[in-house]
Structure 1
């Protein structure tokens, strides 16, 4: 049984809700483990095509739990490494999930909480949302999120945000390319749901899985190697059932049922 998150599936959309409002959804080992379990459940369930990550509170996530931060002061190097690996595994799971992950950010997304949003595929935010990687302000480093933020917004903006630890508004986050959409607080849930439903209706699960894998792989390759990988991916895609189904529907002027 999960204590700090809610999990539900409706119309092929899994919703994972951070539900630790009394601690502003601050991250601790148990919440990280519950999130890992929920994302793995969503990934393995054939009834799920799209995943939404949201919060039940006015804060998306305030970062690390204060009691957890106090505990870190007495940890050994190995204990800290083991703990870091668990968070790394969660970020990696979300980033590499073979289904689209949409973050619905209302309120603050700070430090590790901002990292949670960063690794999602698409981010919706309310105008009041605040983003920031504040680790350097407490003598820590934003080590894990840096890997993903570089890929999302480029080195210049990543340096600006991670080295200063400053908070930014949703409007600035949109300008920097950190988030994708801003929706009013009273409309964001409907906007996220509509976007997810569009993906459910219009996209091939096989294509999404292959495309996400492609995007992860080619970033580490030279241009020539990336093109060679892409050519092989193209050839494989043409042989899968969804491609044949989609082309047949297109030629017969029908909409494929995904």
Structure 2
């Protein structure tokens, strides 16, 4: 009895650790970094769309572009200080003069639009233009598209549209699997039960084998968990199969004896009285 209880406890411990590892591997725990973003219109629908981007948190996405006047480094961070600049969601830094920076958009002025496989993140209230776009404040649009093969893609600069009187913007692109639609499980209830059963059986066999070998010190077939019980089950199963499936009568049939079709006629008795002397 103690041996069975020890094996059950060991199997339960192994199974619990395996479940925890699977949950950790799938990233069940998520941070609340997206709550730092200040939505211009604080609606629940926009907040739910923003929560889809949680896997992109705590990471700076940077890209370097070369222009006629020089090269610039753009850095984007989800609801955090891009490149360490306070309130900056997207920042532009001049490569020739690192101290010269321009905040394209701030994460405390955020708008979010989401579709089935894309999310458009808009950071507003950036630094004002010097002479373009009626000196309005800059705005950054980050188009995040679904790519199931990429967890976190590379940031790309698409264009800077500043040749207009109003609503100028910087457009960026980023591919990520975070915005991909959730594919429903194709497994039926029966399949899930079978998979769980096979996992439990594997844990029972492996855990029992290790316990018998390392703790009990068993050798050979005795290493199989509950070996005596399963041998008895096998014998009983074989006996039951023999009894049910075989139709041959176990008692021997009596030997066959032929019987004449017609009774034999009595032959006339031969008398030898006449041979006696008178």
Same fold, TM exceeding 0.5?
no
Between the two structures, name the one with larger relative contact order (CA 8 Å, sep ≥ 6): 1
| Structure having the larger proportion of residues in strand | 2
| Structure having the larger proportion of residues in helix | 1
